[in-house]
Chain A
Amino acid sequence: MSTNPSTLAQRVTGWLGRSPEEAVAAAEVAALRSDRFRLEREPEWKRLDAIVTRIEKGRMRRISDEDLLALPALYRTVASSLSIARETSLDRATIAYLEGLAQRAWFIVYGPRATLGGWLRRFLGGGWGASVRALGIDILIALAMMVTGTVVGWLLVSSNPDWYYALVPAGDGDPRVPGASREVLMKSLFGNQNEPALAVFASYLFNNNAQVSIMAYALGFAFGVPSVLLLVHNTALLGALLWLYHGQGLTFELIGWLSVHGTTELFAILLAGASGIHIGRAMAFPGQASVLDAAAAAGRRTAQVMAGVVFMLIVAAVLEAFARQLLDATAPRLIVGAAMLIFWIGYLFVWRRGRTTGSAEGDGA
């Protein structure tokens, strides 16, 4: 077998034409079995490639139903081609191509299943409530922290009014400072319905509140400790305000003023803090799972809660901007605030999926 074609005899044979023996060998070499395999299946690979490329470019609508139906089958064909090629072919480029193609198709076949609209429907139609209920005891922990923060804020300021300036970020010319008269404080609560730029203020507030609650959530990563601190600090401000208005006998009026949007906003902050604590607890006490898996499971569960928190803060901002200015008395403000609170509790904790088919209940706010 060890013929050396560089010898003269071989060269001459080459020039004159192949001997029958060599022709057989050449035919076998001409199409390696692995390349024959490849050439047979190439059209299917290329079809899948074209479909995947179009989907990746976001041209979903230009894909025919036929192609879309063929996608899973083509993906499986390519996956099996890859398995076979790995065992029979040494063509590195083809295997690399198949690996890349199978990977891209896999991402599409097993990618995010729902469209954003579909996800939203599922989210409002019970998914959000379920994820909130899954937080379980962490909601109570967060609630306890918020109550503690309020009490601490009150006690600090009542023991030494200088604390007020430390807790409440004072804007220039803000009349709400210790020692302010009843009239001044009263004026800050009522009679502002003619201020025109409040809608702008509300969108600004939403931006701020949303960032604070995202932070309370994200800080859960450090075993939940910063989330707790943030909750306590923010509610200490509430305690200080309560003390200030209480001093002039305006507690009830302040609560009314706050409750219009406050029940929604504080509820949102409560959920954000509870989510942060949930993650922190999952990482500190992962149980049977590894820390990474526990963190990932908690993170995904609470991500839905957080999407809801942002939604609640939008509602709160709208309430703050419009409802509070339109309702210039304590009683209607309290009614709206209480109604919102009952709505959120009912929607998130009482209403369960499956009892009704509709999904529009969620966006009644």
Chain B
Amino acid sequence: MARAIRAVGRFNAHEDRRSRTILTPEGVRLPLTIASRGARAAALLLDLLLIYVAIVATTAFLLWIGLGVLGMKPDSIDDKTAIGGALQGLLIFYFIAMFLFRNAWFLLFELGPRGATPGKRIVGIRVAARHGERLTTEAVIARNLLRDIELFMPLLFIGGALMSGDDVDVAAWAGVGWFLIFVLFPFFNRDALRCGDVIAGTWVVEAPRRKLEQALSVGEGANGRSAATGTQYRFGEAELAIYGEYELQVLERVLRDNRPEAMADVAEAICRKIGWSAGRGDERAFLDAYYTQLRARLEQGMRFGKRKADKNTPGAG
């Protein structure tokens, strides 16, 4: 019994330490995976890069309009002419654009249906409310207001201290210390929350997009019949009883990857285990047949409430 419990524990340990479960209102458990800190850092860097490009592009565009097209000089801002007015308009536009890039970039994208900025989309993560609640507009606003002191303020602080020259040491170190407190914050809690997540009640999770794979048990090989040689593979109770669900999933992965060397290795391992000596060259059909019959057996056990986690679980069925 103790062995069985240990085996089940090992089976569950395959699930990541980052996985969480939420319960939907329909009573369905949905697994979520907390995004890794590395992925979040990568997403942030991508976003900062994009914002930087957008700022440079906007600035260059405004300069081009101002200096190139309208032919302004820097001191024409005080002119009471149309040129002066246009330059003022451009400057106002510039300040508003800078404010929006800094504050609205993350906000607007995270309010969208994907709950992710372009950087997060590329990395494949998104924002969600903790404990399976509804993600609200307020939560997204709150988590992004905090970004200002977590990221932009210390950066400006350090930058300013480096520029001014005088009291570089104290101010710059204060900025670095501040920055570190916020940067390291996600490392001190299980859910990798940053301060903004704490305030907003959100977390960042992986947003996998999977295609529906081919059903494996509908092919010719699944009938136990090899298309190449015509061999009929039938496995007996004892030959199927040695493996459990974990091995079935490994086998499934090998079949879906469809790499000949890997399949040959696995087929050889299975043959050794069950005492067969199958010829080489027909591994795919052999594994298809073994997979389907093993799955049929295990699923039948499941329907009767008997599960076999892996090969170490003692006799189910």
Contact = CB atoms under 8 A, between A and B. Distances in A.
Contacts of A6: 276-278
Given A29-B222, A107-B128, A112-B136, A206 B79 contact: no
Interface stretch (A153-161, A195-203, A234-242, A349-357): A195-203
B92 A200 contact: yes
Interface residues of A, number: 94
Contacts of B46: none
B36 interface: no
Interface stretch (A139-147, A166-174, A214-222): A214-222
Interface in B245-298: 245, 248-249, 252-253, 256, 276-278, 292-293, 295-296, 298
Interface string A35-58: 100110010011001000001101
A94 B88 contact: no
Contacts of B32: 103
Interface string A193-213: 000110110011011001100
Given A26-B223, A112-B134, A299-B201, A97 B213 contact: yes
Given A112-B136, A296-B130, A29 B293 contact: yes
Contact of A279 (B79, B112, B199, B212): B199
A67 interface: no
Contact of A215 (B80, B143, B148, B212): B148
A208 to B, nearest CB: 10
B246 to A, nearest CB: 10
Contact of B113 (A108, A207, A215, A292): A108
Interface in A92-108: 92-94, 96-97, 99-104, 106-108
B219 to A, nearest CB: 9
Given A11-B231, A197-B88, A297-B201, A111 B113 contact: yes
Contacts of B138: 300-301, 303-304
Contacts of A361: none
Main secondary structure of the interface of A (DSSP, over half): helix
Contacts of B38: none
A115 B198 CA distance: 24
Nearest to B143: A299
A94 B278 CA distance: 30
A199 B225 contact: no
A306 B224 CA distance: 66
Contacts, number: 249
Given A58-B113, A92-B249, A39 B84 contact: no
Interface size bracket, B side: 35 or more
Contact of B296 (A15, A29, A304): A29
Contacts of A93: 210, 212-213, 252, 256
Interface in B113-143: 113-115, 126, 128, 130, 134-143
Contacts of B17: none
Contacts of A10: 232, 234
A18 interface: yes
Contacts of B58: none
10 contacts: A1-B237, A14-B225, A82-B28, A83-B28, A102-B30, A196-B85, A200-B77, A206-B95, A210-B99, A217-B145
Which 10 A-B pairs give the minimum distances between C-beta atoms? Answer: A296-B201, A14-B232, A2-B236, A299-B199, A303-B142, A303-B141, A93-B213, A203-B95, A218-B149, A299-B142
Interface of A: 1-6, 10-11, 13-15, 18, 22, 25-26, 28-35, 38-39, 42, 45-46, 49, 55-56, 58, 76, 79-80, 82-83, 87-94, 96-97, 99-104, 106-108, 110-114, 116, 119, 196-197, 199-200, 203-204, 206-207, 210-211, 214-215, 217-219, 221, 279, 292-293, 295-304, 306-307
